[in-house]
Amino acid sequence: MRLNDDVVENRRLTRWADLLPRAPRQRGGVHETDAELVDLGDGRLLALTVDTVCEEIRLGLYRHPKTAGRLAVAAALSDLAAVGAEPLGLLLSVTLPAGNADVVQEAVARGVAQAASAAGTFVLGGDTNEGDELSVGCTAAGTVPRGFELTRVGISPGDLLFSAGPLGLGAALAASTLLAGGSLLSEDDLVPPPRIAHGIALRRIASAAMDTSDGLVATLDQLSRLNGVALRLTRPPAELLHPRALQVARSLSLPPLALLAAAQGEQELVFAVPPERQPALEAAAARLSWTPVPVGRAESGSGVFVNGAPFDGARARNLLGACGRDLGAYAAALVAMTK
């Protein structure tokens, strides 16, 4: 998968897969699903995923333990949503700071409970440690009937691209924290809506789905590579932003595209629908009182197109590493490539 190798994170994931044995009952290839799918042999697939919030804490993007708890759960559940799975429950792996473990534990638990309750699921158990710095890992398990799973692969030229909701709030919070001392948005404003019901509704309607844990541009770039298609935004970036994210962009004079290209995503669901299945999408959306946001379309070719021009998705995705993971340098380089 040469195209995938342009992205450093993809190379890292491919290397892990090369180094480790792969389960014979696992469905799909490396990179092809947001949650790993294992055939249970009874008509169901087990969906498993794990996400850890620690770099955001170390970099100072999440300062409140409640945020770390809420976002670790939201990240894991959005992976289940992106395969169309129904949750069985969650497992936590938490390292608490040794000096302040009781207070931090309670705050993490409040965030975890908030996100789990919103999605109608529960924590089954986990593991707890003490260490230098807070780290919250969340594993989510779910099931999906075999043949009804969503994957990242299946997009054809002509398919329409949607997001389940407005975008950019994760990057806007990072921008507010980094560039405005947190004055424009509070961490409590970042509450990704659970998309489990939407993922289930999209079974056999969406040709592919993926969550925006690394932002919209990274999601489209990955889908473009995996499907061998070009993906074109058919609306200006400002129209895709959450109103509060747009406000942050305007207050800080940031290009709206910067908030879609930043590595900090919002755990929203992005999906493709063949034109002939649009009536089915409309019916499913009406049942959920939900309005999917039209984002763009797939075309023959390759790469991501924004405002009518090619946009270098690999460069955007590799930029934080290329800047030595220095957030100030990253923000400046990202603004330069998105204005």
What residues line the site for Mg ion (CB under 5 A)? 34, 79, 211, 213
Q: What is the DSSP letter of 241?
A: B
Shortest Cβ distance from residue 75 to Mg ion (Å)? Answer: 7
Q: Which residue is nearest to Mg ion (CB)?
A: 34
Residues in the chain: 339
> Which residues are within 8 A (CB) of 54 and not within 5 positions of it... i.e. 6 or more apart?
133, 134, 135, 136
Residue closer to Mg ion, measured from CB, 115 or 254 = 115
Q: How many Cβ atoms are within 10 Å of 235's Cβ, its own excluded?
A: 13
What is the rounded distance in angstroms from the CA atom of residue 150 to the CA atom of residue 271? 9
What is the rounded distance in angstroms from the CA atom of residue 315 to the CA atom of residue 336? 12
Local structure of 135: helix, strand or coil? strand
Residue closer to Mg ion, measured from CB, 86 or 211 = 211
Residue closer to Mg ion, measured from CB, 34 or 159 = 34
Shortest Cβ distance from residue 77 to Mg ion (Å)? Answer: 10
What one-character-per-residue DSSP string does 18-75 give? HHS---TTEES-TTS-SSEEEE-SSSEEEEEEEEEE-HHHHTTS--SHHHHHHHHHHH
Shortest Cβ distance from residue 79 to Mg ion (Å)? Answer: 5
Residue closer to Mg ion, measured from CB, 222 or 338 = 222
What is the rounded distance in angstroms from the CA atom of residue 220 to the CA atom of residue 268? 13
Local structure of 338: helix, strand or coil? helix
Local structure of 272: helix, strand or coil? strand
Tokens of residue 308, six digits: 């009518």
Shortest Cβ distance from residue 36 to Mg ion (Å)? Answer: 11
Residue closer to Mg ion, measured from CB, 79 or 86 = 79
Shortest Cβ distance from residue 307 to Mg ion (Å)? Answer: 26
Shortest Cβ distance from residue 336 to Mg ion (Å)? Answer: 27
Residue closer to Mg ion, measured from CB, 36 or 211 = 211
